[in-house]
């Protein structure tokens, strides 16, 4: 198992971290650094002692799962916190995340969304993890191999709610180095990727749009040569911070519509006004010929969303659009002499 020690100095890449000659660990909240010489002696002692333990209990202590489970019990963390190390041969369908029984707790590509309540560290790291769509990412345990082997891993739960363990979050652009961007508490359900959330957000956005209900006046029939007033039955305010929470994440949606009216006589108009009832004439049309006319109203929505306080991001996928038709009966206007 690769060393996943907490670096006690400044920021470094994962490759730099793996190359450090000293062993870094924490005991009772105090930080200690053991030099190369002492670290080497400890390594030899642990190697001999560990070999003996593995011979006597190989079926039990042969995997990272067992070490993490022992650590969880030692720290009085429920066993479910260790279950996140269970390997998954394929990405989980609902999250797009793959478990790894080797170096990492979870790994994947594209943005990964971590709730603010589970993030530990600079908030900019959480935003980087969510917005780095072309990145690979990993979550590694916050314990050393030595701590796992001795069954003492206080860093596995420090600062995390009961039932969750603390992990490091790493990002890598292309073939570049792994860079540590922060820490998170994970457990139970695996983290969720941006791509999975956005598919759910698109579907939820379509369902949240107010219905398009075109109508006209006079409803008894239009008169040729006189304006007909139309309404979309919607509001120009659109949607503001609509609650679309999905997959256990808080999601808010803003959506602003624009309408296109096809009058059925070869002409059309586009507007940001939803129309309304007489005497509002912003959306109106005058027919010069009589007959039954099919008028089509189409609404196209510009939509963006926020997830766990991050954003705004454009709602991806197909356009958020609606269309509905109404039949207008245009009759001739007759003049009537009075008096």
- The answer to the question of residue 115 being in a domain is yes
- Residue 267 domain flag: yes
> 300, 302, 301, 295: which is closest to 324 by C-alpha?
295
Whether residues 171 and 37 share a domain: the answer is yes
* Under 8 Å between Cβ of 32 and 25: yes
Tell me, what's the pLDDT at 302? Answer: 95
Distance CA 104, CA 120 (A): 18
Distance between CA 240 and CA 96 in Å, rounded? 29
1 domain residue, yes or no? no
- Find the mean pLDDT for residues 304-333: 93
With contact defined as beta carbons under 8 Å apart, do 85 and 101 qualify? Answer: yes
Element of type H or E holding 334 = none
The angle formed by the CA atoms of residues 149, 151 and 153, to the nearest 5 degrees, is 100
Q: Is 297's pLDDT higher than 70?
A: yes
Say if strands 222-223 and 320-331 run parallel, antiparallel, or are unpaired.
parallel
The CA-to-CA distance between both ends of the chain, in Å, stands at 103
Whether 166 maps to a domain, the answer reads yes
Asked, for residue 339, whether it belongs to a domain, the answer is no
Query: Which domain-ending residue is among 166, 190, 214?
Result: 190
Side-chain-side CA neighbours of 330 within 13 Å: the count stands at: 21
323 beta partners: 298
| 152/202 same-domain check | no
At residue 241, the 3 state secondary structure works out as strand
Residue 323's pLDDT is: 97
- The reply to whether 260 and 318 lie within a common domain is yes
Residues 22 and 154 occupy one common structural domain: yes
pLDDT of residue 162: 86
209-238 pLDDT tens trace: 999 999 999 988 899 999 999 999 999 999
Phi-psi region of 89 (alpha: psi -120 to 50; beta: other; left: phi over 0): alpha
Indicate if 99 and 170 belong to the same structural domain.
Answer: yes
Q: How many CB atoms lie within 10 A of CB 339?
A: 2
On whether both 114 and 225 belong to a single domain, the answer is no
Is the pLDDT at 171 greater than 90? The verdict is yes
Q: What is the pLDDT of residue 145?
A: 61
**Hey, what are 3's tokens?**
């060393």
Clarify whether residues 100 and 125 are in a common domain.
yes
Listing DSSP states for 186-237 in one string gives EBSBPPEEHHHHHHHHHHHHHHHSPPP--EEESTT-EETTSEEEEE-SS-TT
* pLDDT, greater one: 188 or 217: 217
**Average of per-residue pLDDT across 38-59:** 41
Q: Report pLDDT for 227.
A: 96
Domain housing 162: 14-190
Highest mean predicted confidence (pLDDT) among 180-194, 260-274, 314-328 = 260-274
Q: Is the peptide bond before 336 cis (omega within 30 degrees of 0)?
A: no
Rg (CA), the chain: 31
**What is the average per-residue pLDDT within 54-83?**
34
Q: Please indicate, yes or no, whether residues 182 and 225 belong to a single structural domain of this protein.
A: no
Q: Are residues 106 and 49 in the same domain?
A: yes
> pLDDT higher for 67 or 223?
223
Whether 27 maps to a domain, the answer reads yes
Query: In degrees rounded to 5, what are phi and psi of residue 88?
Result: -125, 115
Domain boundary (128, 161, 190) is at 190
User: 5 lies in a domain?
Assistant: no
* Residue 333 phi, psi (nearest 5): -90, 130
Same domain, 183 and 233: no
Quick one: tokens of 121? 């560290």
Yes or no: say if 246 and 267 are a contact pair by the CB < 8 Å rule: no
- If asked whether residues 20 and 68 sit together in one domain, one would say yes
Domain identity same for 154 and 241: no
Q: What is the pLDDT of residues 112-162, one digit of tens each?
A: 999 999 999 889 999 999 999 999 999 998 676 666 567 667 667 778 888
The CATH number given to whatever domain includes residue 297 is 2.60.40.10
What pLDDT does residue 104 have?
63
From CA 120, how far away is CA 14, in angstroms rounded? 18
Is 92 a residue whose pLDDT tops 90?
no
Last residue of a domain, one of 190, 205, 223: 190
Half-sphere exposure of 253 (CA within 13 A, CB side): 27
HEC secondary structure over 81-148 = HCHHHCCCCCCCCCCCCEECCCCCCEEEECCEECCHHHEECCHHHHHHHHHCCCEEEEEEECCCHHHH
| Contact present, 230 and 261 (Cβ < 8 Å) | yes
Cα 49 from Cα 65, distance rounded (Å): 20
Determine, yes or no, domain membership for 201.
Answer: yes
Looking at the structure of the chain, the number of domains it has is: 2
Q: What angle do CA 179, 313, 323 make, to 5 degrees?
A: 150
């Amino acid at each position: 198992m690769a060393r996943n020690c907490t670096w006690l100095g400044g920021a470094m890449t994962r490759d730099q971290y793996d190359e450090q000659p000293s062993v870094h660990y924490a005991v009772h909240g105090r930080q200690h650094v053991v030099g190369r010489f002492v670290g080497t002696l400890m390594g030899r002692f642990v190697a001999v002692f560990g070999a003996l333990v593995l011979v006597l209990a190989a079926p039990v202590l042969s995997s990272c799962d067992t070490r993490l489970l022992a650590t969880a019990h030692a720290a009085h963390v429920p066993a479910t916190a260790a279950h996140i190390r269970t390997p998954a041969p394929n990405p989980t369908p609902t999250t797009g995340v793959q478990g790894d029984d080797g170096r990492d707790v979870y790994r994947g590509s594209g943005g990964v969304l971590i709730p603010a309540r589970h993030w530990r560290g600079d908030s900019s790291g959480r935003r980087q993890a969510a917005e780095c769509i072309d990145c690979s990412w990993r979550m590694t345990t916050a314990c050393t191999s030595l701590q796992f082997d001795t069954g003492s891993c206080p860093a596995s739960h420090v600062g995390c709610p009961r039932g969750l363990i603390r992990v490091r979050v790493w990002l890598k652009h292309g073939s570049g180095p792994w860079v540590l961007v922060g820490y998170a508490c994970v457990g139970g359900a695996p983290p969720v990727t941006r791509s999975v959330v956005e598919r759910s957000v698109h579907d939820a956005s379509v369902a949240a749009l107010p219905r398009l209900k075109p109508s006209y006046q006079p409803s008894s029939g239009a008169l040729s040569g006189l304006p007909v007033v139309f309404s979309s039955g919607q509001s120009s305010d659109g949607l503001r911070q609509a609650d679309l929470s999905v997959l256990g994440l808080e999601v808010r949606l803003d959506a602003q519509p624009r309408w296109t009216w096809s009058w059925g006589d070869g002409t059309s108009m586009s507007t940001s006004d939803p129309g309304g009832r007489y005497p509002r004439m912003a959306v109106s049309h005058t027919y010069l010929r009589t007959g039954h006319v099919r008028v089509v109203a189409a609404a196209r929505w510009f939509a963006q969303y926020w997830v766990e306080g991050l954003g705004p991001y454009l709602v991806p996928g197909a356009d958020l659009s609606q269309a509905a038709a109404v039949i207008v009966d245009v009759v001739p206007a007759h003049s009537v002499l009075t008096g």
